[in-house]
Amino acid sequence: MERTLERITVISLIQKLKRQSLHGVWPSVELSLSTDSRQADQTNFFFALVGEKFDAFQFVEQVISQGCPLILFQYSEEKDKKALELSKLHNVTFVGVSDTTKSLQELAHLRRFEWGQKGGKVIGVAGSNGKTTTKEILRSLLEHSGFNVCATEKNNNNHIGVPLTILSVKDFHQVLILEFGSNHPGEMEVLCRISEVDAGIITNIGDTHLEFFQNRENVLKEEAEIFFQMQKKSKGLIVLPQEDVLLATLKDNSIIHQVSQLNWSKKTIAFDFGNSHFELENDQLEGRHNFVNLAMATSLAQTVWPAMKDKILLSAQKVNLPKNNRSEFIHLQNTTIFLDAYNANPSSMRAALELFNHWCTEKSIPLEKRCYILGDMYELGDKEEAYHQELGKELRTMKASHCYFVGKFSLAYNRGFGQGHCFSHPDDLKPQMSDLKSKFSAFFIKGSRGIKLESLLANEERSHTGH
């Protein structure tokens, strides 16, 4: 991921980092940050990150040849010796640090407060499902309300993506929206400490990453870290849905603000927030879960910016979502495809099925003309087969009659459903897609990112999704 740091601040911030070594002199020109050796040039400093299987220090001679004047690397005696030689030979400055990831996070923390002192607000979005959608709804809402917004791109929401997003914020931005993702205990604590958000939304608590969290109670502890960090400082704002049983256990009236009495109908959602009742209309969004997210985004925005309340409520009807393989309807000449090939777990699968079936009912598409294609759900722990089987049972309960299961857990799905068609890989099902499209009016296609169910679509269909 390539992000650009505001040039007027980068050198002064880097000089504040704890360092192991320094070879050369600080450049007299301001530079942008690059973590991509292919793009590092005379306008950038190169942050040579180290991961489990890579060390970007191996590319230093390449970035030097491209004119890069400053390189930050993870210190070792061997690398420091080479850095000293290259510094003298090419007049390039090298900064050695003990841990490049922690230094990146420290740099982001410094930038967050430098930018925040100018009046910028940091908003965090956490939760098991719907984080990216909620982030995009909030971004769209605030942009339509007249704010300059910087937000997490795609799902760059981890220990590298969050600091790079912070470092991409420009002085003219008024709001920074950060999506927080975690699949191991303790990761949220790091993200919240770097970001120190002013306000946040927790979307829900579901069966995500159970391979590492084991149960929903542990998921709650992780996702609620954004709230716990605020409690320590006795300030902040968290918006969450009252209907989520586990989130409802979080108690602190000075920080927690609940959206309650949610009542969704087609293109309208009514809800209570604080002492007021609201009704929002929107023709762009589909499904109850997206309208719940809209209610939370609108509630947060009008609380953080009360003087903008009327404009924010008016802007809610203009909110739309980008096309990115997430819960989108692709309308073709003779059929409609619901595609969500970005992520999947039992909670999000149920929400997507509810959305799809509601849409089909509205369009008078009978069950026998609906085709369901479900792919593997990953990172569910030792109960992964049971979760797939349970969803198969739920498909049978809803009287789905044409189901196709793809991936390692296709047989587990079918043990629950009983009469489905099983395929080990999307390529095995792909030859049948043309025939299936001639039989069915609506398709439900959803699975985890790794199973790549979007590959089932023809090239011209994939063009509708932004590919």
The three-state secondary structure class of 225 is helix
- Cα–Cα distance for residue pair 25/27, rounded to 1 Å: 6
pLDDT value at position 209?
A: 65
Beta-carbon count within 10 A of 444 CB = 26
pLDDT value at position 270?
A: 96
pLDDT value at position 32?
A: 84
Per-domain residue ranges for the chain? Answer: 7-98, 104-318, 328-465
pLDDT value at position 255?
A: 93
pLDDT value at position 208?
A: 66
Report the predicted TM-score, pTM, of the whole model to 2 decimal places.
Answer: 0.79
- Cα–Cα distance for residue pair 162/194, rounded to 1 Å: 8
Question: Are the CB atoms for 390 and 416 separated by under 8 Å?
Answer: yes
Note the CATH number of domain 328-465: 3.90.190.20
According to DSSP, the β-strands at 256-265 and 93-97 are unpaired
CATH topology of domain 104-318: UDP-N-acetylmuramoyl-L-alanine:D-glutamate ligase (3.40.1190)
Query: Measuring CA to CA, which residue among 351, 347, 348, 323 is closest to residue 337?
Result: 323
Question: Are the CB atoms for 291 and 112 separated by under 8 Å?
Answer: no
pLDDT value at position 466?
A: 41
Note the CATH number of domain 7-98: 3.40.1390.10
Phi–psi pair at 225, nearest 5 degrees: -60, -35
pLDDT value at position 379?
A: 81
pLDDT value at position 431?
A: 93
Phi–psi pair at 362, nearest 5 degrees: -60, -35
**Do the domains 104-318 and 328-465 sit in the same CATH topology, yes or no?**
no
> Six-digit token pair at 94?
């090298």
pLDDT, block means (10 residues), the chain with 467 residues: 50 88 89 89 92 93 95 96 96 95 95 92 93 93 96 88 93 95 86 95 81 79 92 93 92 92 91 94 89 96 96 95 73 88 85 89 92 92 90 94 95 95 95 93 93 81 47
DSSP string, 317-375: GG-----SSSSEEEE-SS-EEEEE-S---HHHHHHHHHHHHHHHHHTT--GGGEEEEEE
> Six-digit token pair at 308?
């903008």
pLDDT value at position 326?
A: 64
Beta-carbon count within 10 A of 278 CB = 17
